[in-house]
Chains A and B, each alone.
Chain A
Amino acid sequence: MAYFLQQLINGIALGSIYGLIAIGYTMVYGIIGMINFAHGDIFMVGSFIALIAFLALVSLGLTFVPLALIIVLVIAMALTAVWGWTVERIAYRPLRESFRLAPLITAIGMSIVLQNFIQVSQGARVKPLQPVVTGGYELFVENGFEVNLSNIQILLVVTTFVLMTVFWLIITRTALGRAQRACEQDRLMASLSGVNVDRTISLTFVLGAALAAVAGLLYLLYYGVIDFYIGFVAGIKAFTAAVFGGIGSLPGAMLGGLIIGLIETFWSAYAPSGPEYKDVAAFSMLAIVLIFFPTGLLGRPEVEKV
């Protein structure tokens, strides 16, 4: 029981990170119907920006952790948002009216560019960061097994849920959200009714990238090491989460993220030779979900038009 509870806590923490990345996939897919393959690498870039910003603040003598974290969060969100905007502008916008696979291929290209840019500019070795948020609570002890809830896990889950709520309000209550939903339904009609489609799509990428930056920062704080390759696997899993929850649906992305996080954690904990095959479990999940519930848990069925 204690072991199970501990894994549940770990799974929810991991799932929150996947959920944050998954929102970026789901929003972009909802609005322009493409898989932003480079999104996982935007998350990785965000994580690197957060690392460097943090080190810079430390070297400037800022040692009050909460303030430093907030500044790092703002810097990482802003700079990563610029990356998201640039990627859309360079690689996707020129191909928006092209054949369906064209933007997917530039997205793969962009993913390779981002990974190798970071590898070339910051080196291929893993980047460690000393634990910044330490401490935690010991919930209870059962047969000598402690169940811990660390502060970083609390921070992770709370940040994720606050951001989720904020984004949910943006999508449902603001003019930008309205424009986004209009573009999702019919881009031509939206532009005829005065919605600036290009701007709306750009802002979608900006928002997605900003959330990925938050996920990057949390990942950095939670695991303490990052390298230029973390975006690839995390990206696929987050995409799985987005599909699982129903692509295009924000709460679905979060729910899918949590489920994928839990599946991965429990698989590592309980299955024979689990840790080696945890990625296989997540990837198989993707195939199973797509085959049996192509619309996901909270998605709308998609009508194929001729």
Chain B
Amino acid sequence: MIPLSEPGKSFGQRLKSALADAIIAGWIAFFLFSLLLGVRTVDKVTGLTLAPRPGLLAIAVGIVVFGRLLLNLFVWQAEHPITTPFAKLFTSKQFERRDLIVLGSVAFVSTLVFIIASIVHAAGFQLVAACLLAFLGIGTIRRVIVYFFPNLPYARIFTIGGIAFAILFPLVSYLLEKAFHLGLPLRYLFDLSILVLTYVMLGWGLNIVVGLAGLLDLGYVAFYAVGAYVFALLATHFGLGFWMCLPVAGIAAALWGVILGFPVLRLRGDYLAIVTLAFGEIVRIILINWTPVTNGPNGISDIPKPTFFGLPFSAQASPNFASFFGLKYDPLQGIIFLYYVILGLALVTNLVTIRLRRLPIGRAWEAMREDEIACRSLGINTTITKLTAFATGALFGGLAGSFFATRQGFISPESFTFIESAIILAIVVLGGMGSQLGVAIAAIVMVGGFEALRHTAGLQSVFGEGFDPALYRMLLFGVAMVGIMVWRPRGIVGSRSPTIVVHDVKPIPKNLVEEARA
């Protein structure tokens, strides 16, 4: 796709070919958008009518033409692509003078823009400049640290630091808030973290199926739904609590995984993907239509919250958590507890995955991912291997599902659409399949990023008051999915650490060699 830069070409020649290319791209964009963006269908009493929007069409085509032109001139056909210095920030390559000039001027200009934007209250420019500066800052700090300590185990530090932060964050922020009244939006922060952690757990669960065993599962949400509904039904019909139902829901989902997995095991990669997708949809359609059991599209409400060793967190109950420990009642206590529940579940998922990778079954999964035929010829039973991968992944999906049910207090088939499966899969793939750290980062970026989009007033100042960022969330999500995949097919954290490493090659002792010769 990317034309090779030809060093011999003069600037005039390059400008000419870049312009020609941009004009072709403009025509294509015009044909793509002409009817779909250039005209809008309007509902009227008499039927549909059309309202032209030539301005929007012109803007869209203009963006394509100029974007393509700039990319051609400065990146694709350029002798020294402008992106190289930025990429170098995140490697350990030597900087040249040119790179430093580019980076320095970008830093200078964005600081200037940031200051001016802060003075004139242009939130959009401020946001863009701040993002650029943060990007440069992170890269610089990384280079400096790597320069002084080249041999630290960074992945390990990152992991331990991340887990420590995740454990301490709610308690510390809660205590700080209580002590100093900082006015932090704690409720919102905790809710968001719980959401992110749920996706981290789902990502880690699906990672077993997709990342380790290499089976593309597009219907993972079915197991999530099974876990949620099993818990919700047991809780509302038989009055069982969360902790009692959690293992049951997990086992039910795992069983479901085996039932679904069994018939489709003979299928190859992408056939398997489509069949799992179909199964996911079947589960959702059954949930909608099997009204006597699932209450249909209305869903199940009044699902109980988890208790702390039998102590509920609600204000009405007595003794509740606060009164038992002699604390003042605060609704945040329950939310913090939920946070720790999902954190614990996610960490268990991670731990089990890491340990399983070192067991024969985990080794078999990875061998199967790399080459199924070779795997079979080595005497590994691929049927059992696939089934265990499916069941283990489904188990964690089910656990996450019952957590989802208890957190929401209400579930309906609406929550278990294909798009949910796609989001979880995107997290796994974009994080770099098989990399636990990558999945966690991808979950934070994806879910956190979209949540941020929902609340940014800065975007509104750029696109006008009528701009609703929430509408564009899924569009941007799709664009990000395609873009990241094309840019880095191996995911954000692309380097998967090998499971087995030969640390040092031992030379064969001389006496053994001679023995063999004899």
Contact = CB atoms under 8 A, between A and B. Distances in A.
B422 interface: yes
Interface in A72-116: 75, 78-79, 82-83, 86, 89-91, 93-95, 98-102, 104-106, 108-116
Nearest to B483: A109
A67 interface: no
A69 to B, nearest CB: 16
A48 interface: yes
B104 interface: no
Interface in A35-82: 35, 45, 48-49, 51-53, 55-56, 59, 75, 78-79, 82
A306 B374 contact: yes
A290 B472 CA distance: 37
B485 A95 contact: yes
A158 interface: no
A105 B425 contact: yes
Interface residues of B, number: 60
Nearest to A287: B275
A273 interface: yes
Contact of B48 (A34, A110, A129, A236): A129
B37 interface: yes
B274 interface: yes
A59 B49 contact: yes
Given A52-B50, A290-B267, A94 B281 contact: no
Contacts of A116: 472, 474-475, 477-478
B363 to A, nearest CB: 20
Contacts of B28: 82, 86
Contacts of A117: 36, 475
Interface string A5-18: 00000000000000
Nearest to A129: B48
Interface string B460-495: 000000000001101101111110011001000000
A53 B36 contact: no
Interface stretch (A199-207, A251-259, A275-283): A275-283
B37 to A, nearest CB: 5
Given A116-B478, A121-B40, A287-B275, A294 B267 contact: yes
Contact of A236 (B41, B43, B281): B281
Contacts of B277: 236
Given A104-B216, A123-B41, A125-B43, A294 B271 contact: yes
B35 A49 contact: yes
A5 to B, nearest CB: 29
Interface in A235-286: 236, 239-240, 243, 273, 276-277, 279-280, 283-284, 286
B275 A130 contact: no
Q: Is the contact region of chain A dominated by helix, strand, or loop, or is it mixed?
A: helix
Contacts of A101: 216, 269-270, 273, 429
B486 A121 contact: no
B62 to A, nearest CB: 17
A304 interface: yes
Contacts of A283: 278-279, 281-282
Interface in A143-174: none
B32 A121 contact: no
B478 A121 contact: no
Nearest to A233: B281
A240 B266 CA distance: 17
Nearest to A122: B41
Interface in B240-270: 263-264, 266-270
A198 to B, nearest CB: 10
Contacts of B268: 304
Contact of B485 (A106, A114, A119, A294): A106
A243 B429 contact: no
Interface string A291-306: 1001000000000101
Contacts of B39: 52, 56
Interface residues of A, number: 71
Contacts of B489: 95, 98-99, 102
Contact of A105 (B35, B479, B485): B485
Interface in B17-45: 28, 31-32, 34-37, 39-41, 43
Contacts of B36: 45, 48-49, 52, 117-118, 121-122
A102 B263 contact: no
Contact of B482 (A34, A48, A109, A122): A109
Nearest to A110: B482
A105 B429 contact: yes
A97 B59 CA distance: 35
A128 interface: yes
B15 to A, nearest CB: 23
Contact of B425 (A108, A130, A291): A108
Contacts of B32: 79, 82-83, 86
A94 B486 contact: yes
Nearest to A275: B289
A111 B474 CA distance: 11
A222 interface: no
B116 interface: no
Contacts of B216: 101, 104
Contacts of A122: 36, 40-41
Nearest to B269: A100
Contacts of A111: 478
A62 B39 CA distance: 18
B367 interface: no
A290 B426 CA distance: 26
Nearest to B377: A306
Nearest to A237: B278
Q: Which of B32, B278, B471, B479 counts the most A-chain CB atoms under 10 A from its CB?
A: B278
A122 B42 CA distance: 9
B281 to A, nearest CB: 6
Contacts of A1: none
A120 interface: yes
Given A52-B41, A106-B482, A236-B274, 8 more contacts: A35-B273, A49-B36, A123-B41, A127-B41, A232-B418, A243-B274, A291-B263, A291-B266
20 contacts: A35-B274, A55-B48, A55-B50, A86-B28, A108-B425, A109-B480, A111-B478, A115-B478, A116-B474, A116-B475, A117-B475, A122-B41, A236-B277, A277-B285, A280-B282, A280-B285, A290-B264, A291-B264, A294-B266, A294-B271
Interface of B: 1, 28, 31-32, 34-37, 39-41, 43, 47-50, 216, 218, 263-264, 266-271, 273-275, 277-279, 281-282, 285-286, 288-289, 371, 373-374, 418-419, 422, 425-426, 429, 471-472, 474-475, 477-482, 485-486, 489
